[in-house]
Every structure is written in structure tokens, then in C-alpha cells.
Amino acid sequence: MLRKGGLILYPTDTIWGIGCDATNADAVQKIFVLKKRAETKSMIILLTDELDVLKYTSQPDLRVFDFLKTMQKPTTVIYDGAMGLAPNLIHADGSAAIRLVKEPFCRHLIKRFRKPIVSTSANFSGEPSPKCFADISEEIKNKVDYVVRFRQEDNTVHLPSAIIKWNKNGIPEFIRY
């Protein structure tokens, strides 16, 4: 479904997300329409390895990887110099929000797909993020092209990632913790 430009509903290393091929602008546009989300609001991109970050950003500060190893919760980093992603995923300032996932299901999905995947909360813009699959509206479930069958019965409360902006001086600025 991802290769066809479709939308999936899937469990991430944090909350359930709506995803698509992060290099396909038409697929990304479908998410903006589905969520009724302003195109100026950024979405997160999931990758598996530090080398992948080097492929999709022009000049990352490598110290960020050491910092991420100290974080207890999944952490999304806003990197300057995004490249190789769908243009509608790159913020007006040239940055992109990227998270390296450790959770086995997400890692396997991204590695098999061989491209970055968008991850945005499985809700309409402005509504609360679902904490588990049961919290996702039927309308969202019916409007994606494929719903992953993994972890649907898991009622463990999952929370969104922390988000940081890595400043040029090597100090993280917490946007969401």
C-alpha cells in the first residue's frame, strides 16, 4: 500500500499514526486532506538508523546522536537542511522533523519499505491524539487505505514523542517534552 501511494494506520514507537511514503508528495497531500490539517503544520518522518538521517539532511550535527542515546522516551529532532523528502513535508525554513525508531515493528516496516515513512497522530487536526487503537475514530479508520492488524487489542496508553530543535551551538531546545 505504501508503494502505491496509499495511507496506512499503524502503531508506531509512540502512538498510533497515519503514515505514507515520505518521499511521495501526493501521498503526503492525502494525509493533510484526511486530517483537515493546514499544510503549514509539519509532520514527523520515521527512519531507522543514523545513516538514514545523513541521507535526508544536508549537515546534521553528529552530536545529536549521542544526545538521543541519553533520552528515556522516543524523541523527534527537527533537523535543518532537509532533502530527498516530499517538498510538502519540508518546513518553509528547510527543516524536517525526524525520529529514529527502536520499536521492532516500525523498524521492520521501514526497513522493508526502504524509504522514510510519515507518522502523524491518527486523529483530525485539533482533536486529542489517540492513546490506543480503540481511541481512533471510525471515520479515520475508514478513510485510510490499510489498517495494520498488529497491536489493535493493546490498551496500553502510549504518548507522543518528545520534540527538540537541535540548535547550531549543539544545545537542544525542547519543543514538546
CATH number of the domain residue 55 falls in: 3.90.870.10
pLDDT by residue (tens digit) across 56-96?
Answer: 999 889 999 999 999 999 999 999 999 999 999 999 999 99
SS3 readout for 65-121: HHHHCCCCCCEEEEECCECCCCHHHCCCCCCEEEEECCCHHHHHHHHHHCCCEEEEE
**Mean pLDDT, all residues of the chain:** 95
- Whether 75 is in a domain gets the answer yes
- 44 touches 99 (CB < 8 A): yes
- Whether 1 is in a domain gets the answer no
- Whether 165 is in a domain gets the answer yes
- Whether 59 is in a domain gets the answer yes
CA distance 160 to 148: 19
CA distance 142 to 137: 9
Q: Which of 133, 145, 97, 95 is nearest to 117 (CA)?
A: 97
What total of structural domains would you count in the chain?
A: 1
CA distance 30 to 161: 23
- State the pLDDT confidence band at 169, using cuts at 50, 70 and 90: confident
- State the pLDDT confidence band at 168, using cuts at 50, 70 and 90: confident
- Whether 112 is in a domain gets the answer yes
- 106 touches 12 (CB < 8 A): yes
CA distance 154 to 150: 9
Q: What is the residue type of 28?
A: V
- Whether 2 is in a domain gets the answer no
- Whether 107 is in a domain gets the answer yes
119: its cell numbers: 507518522
pTM attached to this predicted model: 0.95
Q: Name the percent of the chain lying above pLDDT 90.
A: 88
Biggest CA pair distance of the chain: 45
- 58 touches 83 (CB < 8 A): yes
State the pLDDT at residue 153.
Answer: 93
pLDDT by residue (tens digit) across 11-22?
Answer: 999 999 999 999
Q: Which domain holds residue 164?
A: 8-176
Residues ≥6 apart with Cβ < 8 Å to 149:
none
CA distance 8 to 2: 7
> Stretch 128-157: mean pLDDT, rounded?
94
- Whether 3 is in a domain gets the answer no
